[in-house]
Amino acid sequence: MNSPSREIVEWLRREYPVGCRIVLDVMDDPYTKIPVGSQATVTGVDDAGNIMCAWDIGSSLFIAYGADRCHKVTTEEEVKVTLDWYGKHQPEKDARCPRCGEIMPGPTSRHAISRRANIMICDMDGMREALEDARIMKSLPPMDWCAIQLPQNGGGKWRG
């Protein structure tokens, strides 16, 4: 496989920043144990254009440049998988709200449970979701949540 140019590597680094969440489309390795559709957190792009990542299932196989394919989380279902994953790794205290990005002071368990995914959100956003479900407020798609839009703040786990 030809090495990518410096421009392509830089484009890949902008497109797949550290912390961004990806979904596997194709892995050109008959021995891989990673099923198509698995999600991972990007940990970097090396000089050969390979996307380094930490798979939720516990592997660190990279996405080989020119051989494997992936895409960033896009669909509602993919975003929910990511938010559920973040929810499993929320810090016990002073966590960042995945909707608005604000710090939730004190124990995370005392804040609000999201109606969109298994994750804690700030009390204000808990109220917003209730108002969205009552159709009083326009709903904020999970794709637009801070945790998805600013993955670099997650550092692999949404901790802020």
Residues that bind Zn ion (CB under 5 A): 97, 99-100, 122, 125
Instruction: Find the shortest distance in angstroms from Cβ 102 to Zn ion.
Output: 5
Assess contact for 66 and 49: CB atoms under 8 A.
yes
Burial of 83-116, coded b for 16+ CB within 10 Å and e otherwise, reads bbbbbeebeeeebbbbbbbeebeeebeebbebeb
Instruction: Find the shortest distance in angstroms from Cβ 92 to Zn ion.
Output: 18
Which secondary structure element, helix H or strand E, spans residue 146, and what is its range? Answer: helix 146-149
Instruction: Find the shortest distance in angstroms from Cβ 30 to Zn ion.
Output: 45
Q: 66 or 105: whose CB is closer to Zn ion?
A: 105
Q: 56 or 102: whose CB is closer to Zn ion?
A: 102
Q: 67 or 127: whose CB is closer to Zn ion?
A: 127
